[in-house]
Amino acid sequence: MKHIARKRFGQHFLSDGGIIDAIVDAIAPQAGQRMLEIGPGLAALTQPLVERVGHLTVIELDRDLAQRLRAHAQLSVIESDVLKVDLRNIAPVPAQGGVKWRVVGNLPYNISTPILFHLLEQVDCIEDQHFMLQKEVIDRMVAQPCTAAYGRLSVMLQWRYAMENVLFVPPESFDPPPRVDSAVVRMLPRSQPAQVNVDLLSEIVQVAFSQRRKLVRHTLGRWLEARAAAEGFDVQRRAEEIPVAEYVALAQRVAAMPA
C-alpha cells in the first residue's frame, strides 16, 4: 500500500537513486558504527545505511511508517517526536561500536531549526551530523560575517560545529517535490570549543540581530549598558559585521562580571 505524504509532518520522500548514493558516500558509514537516522520515512537512505553499518537506530514520528520499519530486523525503531528524544538515554545494541552517535536524516523542513538547537544541547554525545535541509537554511548555517545570510543560526552553530555544504539536491529528487531547493550539510562538533554560557550567548545574539538593519548601539549596546558591560565593545556596527569569536568573547566577559 502506497504511503501518502502527510503535510503536517512536512513529509517529502527522497526518490532519486543517484542523489541517495551521493549522500551515503558523503556520510561514509562504516560497519559497526553507532548510527542514528532521524525521519527515515520510506527508508530511501535507511536501506543503504543499514547495509553498511549492520544495525541502525531510527526515530520516526509517523505511526504507519514506524510500523513498516519494525519489519526490518536490523532496525531499532523509536516512535517519537525527535524533539522529545534525548540521545544520551538511547542504549546502543551490542554490535555498535563507539560511545558517540553519527546522526543523519532528511529533516522535516518545518521544524529543522528547533531540531538543530535540540541536538546542540546534546552535542557531547555526537560524533558528526549529516542532514538534508532546505538550501536556504544551510546557507544561513555556513554564512560568513558581512553577508545577508549571516545571523543567529550562523553564530550559534558555528561556535560549536565546523560545517560544510556538501551536496545540492533539486526539488525533483523528492516525491512529492518541495517548493524549495535542498542541500546536505556536514556538521562536525569542534573538539575544543570555547567554553561559554550557551543561554547567555543565545540572548546576546538574539538581541543583536533583533533589528539587523540598525547599528547594534540601538539593541545590543543598550543591553550591555544596562549591565554596565558596554566598555570596550564597538557598537558602531551592524550585527552581521560581528564575527562569531567576538560574540563568544563578549558572552564570556559578561558572564565573568560580578553580579
Q: What is the phi/psi pair of residue 115, to 5°?
A: -65, -45
pLDDT of 2 reads 47
Give the span between the Cα atoms of 186 and 163, in whole angstroms: 6
Q: What band does 167 get if pLDDT is binned at 50, 70 and 90?
A: very high
Q: What band does 5 get if pLDDT is binned at 50, 70 and 90?
A: very low
CATH number for the 7-189 domain, one of 2.40.110.10, 2.70.70.10, 3.40.50.150, 3.40.1010.10?
3.40.50.150
- The structural domains of the chain, with segments of one domain joined by +, span 7-189, 198-256
Peptide bond into 171 cis (omega under 30): no
232: left (phi over 0), alpha (psi -120 to 50) or beta: left
At 91-120, the pLDDT tens digits run 877 777 778 999 999 988 889 999 999 999
Give the span between the Cα atoms of 224 and 259, in whole angstroms: 14
Give me the sign of the Cα torsion angle 165, 110, 112, 96: negative
Mind giving me the DSSP string for 178-245?
Answer: PSS-EEEEEEEE-SSPPP--HHHHHHHHHHHGGGTTSBGGGTHHHHHHHTT--TT---SSBGGGS-HH
At 172-224, the pLDDT tens digits run 999 888 889 999 999 999 999 999 999 999 999 999 999 999 999 999 999 99
Q: What is the pTM assigned to this prediction?
A: 0.91
| CA–CA distances in Å: residue 242 to residues 5, 49, 226, 232, 237 | 42, 40, 20, 14, 7
Give the span between the Cα atoms of 89 and 255, in whole angstroms: 30
CATH code given to domain 198-256: 1.10.8.100
